[in-house]
């Protein structure tokens, strides 16, 4: 039995990934902004919620399947957009997308992916979601939306919380670049991670292929980095949803909502769904965890739109707690990234299998047979005040 098969938790996959992935790229997927207060709260606040155990219930014929945005899914999760996934493992976005397709859930490709929209489309057979950052070069963004449409992406995930990049100390200290600069420190790291290096030598995908070759000024790594650094649009506002939605012609999900008023504004301006998210604790350090604010946002807009969430989910139990508090599904990023780092496509599959098993077993012990019925009655009401947080 190999290391992947022996892994029983996402934490164990994380430990394997730490050994396999170069430090600067592992730190990238495993870090938050500044003191990492919000990053840590995302996980810690799930632990404050406890299940109601129910017994003597018929538990035959359990069902974990439902729909997300009208798409049948085997489990109410989607792979979240994670930038530079292809540096966690060679062709990482392709591998994660293939694992998600076989598992029966959506995959979301980041604008800042190493593999392009076309790369993922050529290697999968079902529609995937595309995550959009709005940049100053609106001509490029229009072409990017058109490429997502041509690839038959079934939804656009519009991220609203990254007009300014939150500072992540680990990335600064490691000198993170994509592709990496060949320094003595990095060469020494490669000697300790030969498998990763060998796989990287076997692919041509080493940079941001959604941008490289599609922007005249991004002709090399230095120019690409300079262009990207100056492109995040400080004027992005709610009215931008309208032209983006019209250009795409399909569902637009707004990601980065952490406040009730923002949730209302997103819907008023045409969002087809929202993702309650603090960017995995990577932006505003000191913001609340997503699970803490989820109930009040569900109370305010859950009758109008589909509310999804991300941030801090590391197990099937966490997923069930999010569903109990009103989310219709969750996006998982680090679960995917740890699995990918631990074993490529097989590692992502193993991560999803772990979450599915945890979800199924825990749901049964809660006395539920259908995941669509999970709700507030499955948790103890005194664990948190639904309107005031904890």
Token pair, residue 177, equals 């670049």
Q: Which of 169, 214, 279, 303 is catalytic?
A: 279
Measure CA of the first residue to CA of the last residue in the chain; give whole Å: 43
Of 338, 112, 331, 335, which is closest to residue 210 (Cα–Cα)?
Answer: 112
Concerning whether 214 is annotated as a catalytic residue, the answer is: no
Alpha helices in the chain (DSSP H): 3-6, 10-20, 23-29, 37-44, 85-88, 92-103, 117-122, 138-150, 169-174, 184-192, 194-201, 221-229, 240-248, 260-268, 290-301, 316-324, 334-365
Helix (H, G, I), strand (E, B) or coil at 367: coil
Helix (H, G, I), strand (E, B) or coil at 325: coil
Q: Which helix (H) or strand (E) holds 276?
A: strand 273-276
Locus of tokens 């003597």: 56
Instruction: Let me know if 164 is exposed, middle or buried by CB neighbors in 10 A (0-12, 13-18, 19+).
Output: exposed
Of 337, 336, 334, 273, which is closest to residue 309 (Cα–Cα)?
Answer: 273
Write out the DSSP string of 205-271: --S-TTTTTTSTT--SHHHHHHHHHTTB-TT--TTHHHHHHHHH-S-EEEEEE-SHHHHHHHHHTT-
Bridge partner list, 227? none
Bridge partner list, 275? 255, 308
Token pair, residue 40, equals 């840590």
Residues catalogued as catalytic: 279
């Amino acid at each position: 039995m190999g290391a992947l098969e022996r892994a029983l938790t996402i934490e164990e996959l994380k430990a394997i990934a730490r050994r396999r992935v170069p430090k600067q790229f592992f730190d990238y997927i495993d870090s938050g902004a500044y003191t990492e207060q919000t990053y840590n709260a995302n996980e810690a606040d799930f632990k404050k919620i406890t299940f109601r155990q129910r017994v003597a219930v018929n538990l035959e014929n359990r069902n974990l399947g439902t729909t997300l945005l009208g798409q049948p899914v085997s489990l109410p999760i989607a792979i979240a957009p994670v930038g530079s996934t292809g540096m966690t493992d060679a062709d990482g976005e392709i591998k994660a997308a293939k694992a998600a397709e076989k598992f029966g859930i959506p995959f979301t490709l980041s604008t800042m992916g190493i593999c392009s929209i076309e790369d993922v489309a050529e290697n999968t057979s079902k529609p995937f979601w595309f995550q959009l950052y709005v940049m100053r070069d609106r001509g490029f963004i229009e072409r990017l939306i058109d490429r997502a449409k041509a690839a038959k992406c079934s939804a656009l995930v519009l991220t609203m919380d990254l007009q300014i990049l939150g500072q992540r100390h680990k990335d600064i200290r490691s000198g993170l670049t994509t592709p990496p600069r060949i320094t003595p420190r990095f060469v020494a790291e490669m000697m300790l991670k030969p498998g990763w290096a060998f796989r990287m030598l076997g692919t041509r995908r080493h940079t941001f292929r959604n941008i490289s070759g599609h922007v005249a000024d991004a002709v090399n790594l230095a120019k690409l980095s300079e262009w990207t650094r100056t492109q995040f649009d400080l004027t992005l506002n709610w009215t931008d949803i309208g032209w983006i939605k019209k250009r795409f012609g399909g569902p637009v999900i707004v990601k980065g909502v952490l406040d009730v008023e923002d949730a209302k504004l997103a819907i008023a301006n045409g969002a087809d769904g929202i993702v309650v998210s603090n960017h995995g604790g990577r932006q505003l350090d000191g913001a609340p965890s997503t699970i803490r604010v989820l109930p009040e946002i569900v109370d305010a807009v859950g009758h109008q739109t589909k509310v999804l969430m991300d941030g801090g989910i590391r197990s099937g139990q966490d997923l069930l707690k999010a569903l109990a508090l009103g989310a219709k599904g969750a996006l998982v990023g680090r679960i995917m990234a740890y699995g990918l780092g631990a074993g490529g496509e097989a590692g992502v599959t193993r991560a999803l299998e772990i979450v599915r098993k945890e979800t199924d077993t825990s749901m049964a012990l809660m006395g539920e047979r259908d995941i669509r019925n999970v709700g507030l009655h499955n948790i103890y009401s005194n664990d948190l005040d639904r309107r005031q947080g904890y």
